[in-house]
Amino acid sequence: MALPQIKADATKDRLIGMAIPACGAWATTARQDALNRLIAMGLPHKRDEYWRYTDPALLVGTEVSPSDALRTDTPIFMDKDKVRLIFVDGVFDADASDDPTLEGVEITRLVDAQAADVHWAQGLYGQLETAGQNPVDRPLAIMNTAFATDGVCIHVTGKPSKPLHISYRQSSDASDVVLHHVVKLDAGTELTLLETGTPGARSNVVLEADVADNATLHHVRPQGRAHNRAVATHLFARVGTEATLKSFTLAMNGKMTRNEFVADIIGDDAVVHVGGVCVGDGKDFHHDDTVFITHDALNGESRQVFKKVLRNAATGVFQGKILVKAGAQKTDGYQISQSLLLDEDAQFLAKPELEIYADDVACSHGSTTGAIDETALFYLRSRGVPEQQATTLLTLAFLAEALDEIADEALAEELRDRLEGWLARHG
């Protein structure tokens, strides 16, 4: 059977019994539009070029296998003064959350925003996601727009004194969660957004971020440590003149992770940095970072820095693209994806891409796969550092360039400590 027919049938089967959640007029329109697009496009299939290295079966199938998040996830960023928005099994928990009143930010639960007939989120919900479908299909994100059951709408109107923290927790180990967040930063504003934990046994999370002129969004996301979770995330961003977006993701464990990052630089002199570290041990670890950054303005700067540490048949994937449109002169694009394979069974699959239609740009990309440097290891051991500790030290050194992408040093330090603990346990 031809692929389009296979996908059409699978999508039809998958959608049996699924209904768009009841909401107000604008949201119903956006969701119905998404459903129509999804039916036309079809859910992803392992024979799709964009899913060549990652089989989407666990992300699209009807079955959800239980996760071990209840046992593995531990609180993080406890010392940081912040406003916590807590989702339990994918449902906002107002009682467990902090009072969402914070100067410079307006926070609305997605279901409330969508119940209203008019809301500012109307201009973004599904809009950046739709824009992000060109030139590559991202059907899981469309499915999210159609069926998301909860989420948060964040309107940043100033420079709030502390970060917002979206914290995912579980009370059951078999939840299938679809969350959709919308973040709008007005011109000249700033926000640090933390996103932590395992939303569900399976989760599909979309974050749409509109970063207006001169605004800054910092996004730091240590994903849950559950081994059995399956998660697909999409971050769609639109970045204006002299605006900055920095996003960093840490993944330790996870049998299926697909993190897509899609940013359109539409204003001059904008900066977009996206970084990630993942560490995986065992054949049930599969982690995919898929990045697409479009430069459509002058003098833009983008960096993609991804590092992976893999062992025992773990698999890491990186698909990263820099698209420089005609007229986006003086673009400075940088992309590096590296993996450290701690044994011969692990694998790293990388597909770096540059597509450039402007003639005055500086773009570079590199991708490497390597083992621990034996010479350095012997040097450390000859000074009395035990092999395991020396390996951890060298591994953290390998990861340092990616961790440096986190602007807040205290946050970076905490993630580094977590990595050190993980490496010591998996030595």
Q: Name the residues that contact other proteins, by CB under 8 A.
A: 373-376, 378-387, 389-390, 393-394, 396-398, 400-401
Min separation Cβ 318 and other proteins, Å: 20
Query: Is 303 or 381 the residue whose CB approaches other proteins more closely?
Result: 381
Query: Is 108 or 391 the residue whose CB approaches other proteins more closely?
Result: 391
Query: Is 18 or 400 the residue whose CB approaches other proteins more closely?
Result: 400
Min separation Cβ 175 and other proteins, Å: 39
Query: Is 347 or 389 the residue whose CB approaches other proteins more closely?
Result: 389
Q: Of how many residues is the chain composed?
A: 427
Residue 192: beta bridge partners?
218
CA-based nearest residue to 165, from 112, 88, 98: 98
Dihedrals φ, ψ of 162, to 5°? -145, 165
Min separation Cβ 385 and other proteins, Å: 5
Query: Is 348 or 398 the residue whose CB approaches other proteins more closely?
Result: 398
The tokens describing 110, both together, are 């997605």
User: Which strand ranges, in their side-by-side order, compose the sheet holding 332-341?
Assistant: 91-92, 83-88, 164-169, 190-196, 216-222, 244-252, 271-281, 301-311, 332-341, 362-370
Assign 376 to helix, strand or coil: helix
Min separation Cβ 390 and other proteins, Å: 8
CA geometry: angle at 352 spanning 348 and 358, to 5°?
A: 170
Query: Is 75 or 384 the residue whose CB approaches other proteins more closely?
Result: 384
Query: Is 397 or 424 the residue whose CB approaches other proteins more closely?
Result: 397
Distance CA 32, CA 35 (A): 5
Residue whose structure tokens are 């969402």: 100
Min separation Cβ 420 and other proteins, Å: 12
Assign 49 to helix, strand or coil: helix
Min separation Cβ 381 and other proteins, Å: 4
CA geometry: angle at 283 spanning 282 and 285, to 5°?
A: 75
Min separation Cβ 394 and other proteins, Å: 7
- Strands 271-281 vs 301-311: parallel, antiparallel or unpaired: parallel
Min separation Cβ 307 and other proteins, Å: 11
Query: Is 327 or 386 the residue whose CB approaches other proteins more closely?
Result: 386
Distance CA 177, CA 333 (A): 35
CA-based nearest residue to 29, from 127, 108, 120: 127
Query: Is 116 or 396 the residue whose CB approaches other proteins more closely?
Result: 396
Residue whose structure tokens are 């199938």: 61
Query: Is 157 or 389 the residue whose CB approaches other proteins more closely?
Result: 389
Distance CA 82, CA 69 (A): 23
Assign 401 to helix, strand or coil: helix
Min separation Cβ 397 and other proteins, Å: 3
Q: Do the Cβ atoms of 126 and 34 come closer than 8 Å?
A: yes
Min separation Cβ 376 and other proteins, Å: 5
Q: Do the Cβ atoms of 33 and 126 come closer than 8 Å?
A: yes
CA-based nearest residue to 144, from 192, 90, 223, 221: 90
Min separation Cβ 198 and other proteins, Å: 30
- Strands 152-156 vs 105-109: parallel, antiparallel or unpaired: antiparallel
The tokens describing 116, both together, are 């209203």
Query: Is 383 or 425 the residue whose CB approaches other proteins more closely?
Result: 383
